[in-house]
Amino acid sequence: MTKIHDWASARLVLLTLILVIVAPGIAVLGLYFSGWRPMGATAHGRLLSPPVKITGLQVLRLDGRKDALERLVSLHGKWTLFYLLPARCGRSCVFGLYGLRLAHLGQQGHMQRVQRVVLATDDGQARELAARDPGMTILHTDAGQLALLEKLLAAGGVAHITEGALVLIDPLGHALLYYPPGSDPIGVKKDLAHLLKHSWIG
**Residue pair 109/189 in contact by the 8 Å Cβ criterion:** no
pTM, to two decimals: 0.78
Per-residue pLDDT of the chain (202 residues; tens, 9 = 90+): 555 555 556 565 555 555 545 455 455 455 455 554 443 456 789 999 999 999 999 999 999 999 999 999 888 899 999 999 998 888 889 899 999 999 999 998 899 999 999 999 988 888 898 898 988 999 999 999 999 999 999 999 998 889 999 999 999 999 999 999 999 999 999 999 999 988 888 7
Identify which of 56, 60, 63, 42 has the alpha carbon closest to the alpha carbon of residue 173. 56
Predicted confidence at residue 201, as pLDDT, reads: 80
SS3 content of the chain, % helix, strand, coil (to 5): 45, 20, 35
Instruction: Write down the H helix ranges in 34-162.
Output: 69-74, 91-105, 123-132, 143-154
Region of 64 (left: φ > 0; alpha: ψ -120 to 50; beta: rest) is left
Helix, coil or strand: residue 45: coil
